[in-house]
């Protein structure tokens, strides 16, 4: 399906929204839309806030178990949530993931503490889409040790990582209604995954390394044909009519994710767009070749964006990912190659160093 057809067939944004049917009906009666819209938006914040009460001790939520050996992971159905306090808290969490900006963005109704992006911009379909950076493996694998911080991290810490980096914002306190709801939702999304398991379809796809370096110039040309329609020539995206959320989120500039964000690593960006962009793409019907995805990642991540103090990151520098573009490094390769590749020589060198380390350790132990 061509981009134009895709565009004509349906409003791409509505695909991922649970309110699709409601919106369709509203669309038919377009003349009352502005009136209804005003009332609805004003009310929504109040409604969700009002629902927040301490979750009941025993939620009794029935969750279907997946057959993880055969099938792609599938999120539980939000409609199966009971209308008790736990159900309401989880629903509020979903709302915060899908429409973060309306609550916590520059014009947020609760607080202004982030750049205006939604979690859902990167965690598609509220973190339920296969290979759309979903939350399937969060409840099952956290708390866990992460080398970036060098500490055991809770889900709250990981959520704040994305707020401070991807949303270039200020962290939420663990005790806030909003953090509690986000964590309740993320735990519920992954509640059909056994402890320790990372199911099929989790996170992002991993693309094979290119033999040459990823080229921002090639990426720029691709951007102009495949991305510019929605993300715009200056990468600044498009705001909705109310000016409180992005219709198409920015890819660079002041309103975008900062240097410390996951997407600033070329492998994460390339994996994300391969399975998900142009919008509407699924992992089993990609529209970009691996090579195109790498070049696009190189282009977008060579454009200006906010910085972040990362002095405390990677206390053990040997644990930096191969495509983490900030030195110092243990392997002797420079920042440019760590950013754009080619990555295979770095990987080989790292493996050699690791082997040498174990040999020395064994000799020492004798």
Which residues bind to ligand HEC, rule: CB under 6 A? 12-13, 16, 97, 100, 117-124, 133, 135, 137-138, 158-159, 162-163, 166-167, 182, 186, 203-204, 226-227, 229-231, 248-251, 257, 261-263, 268, 272-273, 277-279, 288, 296
- What distance, in Å, lies between the first and last C-alpha atoms of the chain? 64
- Dist. CA 67–CA 199, nearest whole Å: 10
- Which lies closer to ligand HEC via its Cβ, residue 73 or residue 257? 257
- Which lies closer to ligand HEC via its Cβ, residue 133 or residue 337? 133
CB of 351 to ligand HEC, least distance (A): 21
- Which lies closer to ligand HEC via its Cβ, residue 182 or residue 346? 182
Contact between residue 299 and residue 230 where contact means Cβ atoms under 8 Å apart: no
CB of 361 to ligand HEC, least distance (A): 29
- Which residues share a beta bridge with 144? 153
Contact between residue 323 and residue 339 where contact means Cβ atoms under 8 Å apart: yes
Q: Where are the beta strands (DSSP E) in the chain?
A: 144-146, 151-153, 238-239, 246-248
- Which residues share a beta bridge with 238? 248
DSSP letter (8 states) at residue 134: B
Q: Where are the beta strands (DSSP E) in 59-207?
A: 144-146, 151-153
- Which lies closer to ligand HEC via its Cβ, residue 285 or residue 364? 285
Contacts of 39 (CB under 8 A, 6+ apart): none
CB of 56 to ligand HEC, least distance (A): 23
CB of 326 to ligand HEC, least distance (A): 16
In this structure, what are the phi and psi dihedrals at residue 167, rounded to the nearest 5 degrees? -100, 5
Contact between residue 3 and residue 12 where contact means Cβ atoms under 8 Å apart: no
CB of 288 to ligand HEC, least distance (A): 6
- Which lies closer to ligand HEC via its Cβ, residue 177 or residue 186? 186
CB of 145 to ligand HEC, least distance (A): 12
- Which lies closer to ligand HEC via its Cβ, residue 87 or residue 249? 249
């Amino acid at each position: 399906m061509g981009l134009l057809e895709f565009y004509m067939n349906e409003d791409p944004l509505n695909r991922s929204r649970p309110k699709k049917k409601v919106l369709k009906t509203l669309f038919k009666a377009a003349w009352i839309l502005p009136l209804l819209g005003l009332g609805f938006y004003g009310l929504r914040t109040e409604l969700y806030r009002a629902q927040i009460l301490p979750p009941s001790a025993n939620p009794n939520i029935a969750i279907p178990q997946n057959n993880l050996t055969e099938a792609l992971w599938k999120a539980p159905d939000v409609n199966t949530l009971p209308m008790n306090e736990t159900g309401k808290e989880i629903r509020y969490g979903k709302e915060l993931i899908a429409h973060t900006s309306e609550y916590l963005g520059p014009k947020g109704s609760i607080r202004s503490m982030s750049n205006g992006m939604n979690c859902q911009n990167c965690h598609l379909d509220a973190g339920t889409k296969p290979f759309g950076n979903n939350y399937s493996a969060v409840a099952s694998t956290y708390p866990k040790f992460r080398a970036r911080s060098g500490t055991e991290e809770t889900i709250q810490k990981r959520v704040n990582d994305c707020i401070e980096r991807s949303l270039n914002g200020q962290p939420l306190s663990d005790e806030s209604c909003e953090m509690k709801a986000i964590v309740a939702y993320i735990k519920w999304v992954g509640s059909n995954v056994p402890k320790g398991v990372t199911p099929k379809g989790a996170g992002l796809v991993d693309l094979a390394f290119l033999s040459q370096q990823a080229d921002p110039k090639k990426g720029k040309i691709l951007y102009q044909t495949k991305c510019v329609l929605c993300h715009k020539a200056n990468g600044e995206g498009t705001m909705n009519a109310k000016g409180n959320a992005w219709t198409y989120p920015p890819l660079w500039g002041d309103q975008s994710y900062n240097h410390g964000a996951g997407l600033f690593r070329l492998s994460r960006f390339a994996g994300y767009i391969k399975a998900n962009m142009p919008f509407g793409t699924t992992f089993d019907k990609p529209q970009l070749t691996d090579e195109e995805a790498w070049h696009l990642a190189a282009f977008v991540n060579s454009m200006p964006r906010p910085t972040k103090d990362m002095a405390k990151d990677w206390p053990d520098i040997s644990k930096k990912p191969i495509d983490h573009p900030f030195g110092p490094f243990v392997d002797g390769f420079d920042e440019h190659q760590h950013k754009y590749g080619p990555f295979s020589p770095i990987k080989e060198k790292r493996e050699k160093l690791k082997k040498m380390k174990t040999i020395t350790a064994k000799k020492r132990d004798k």
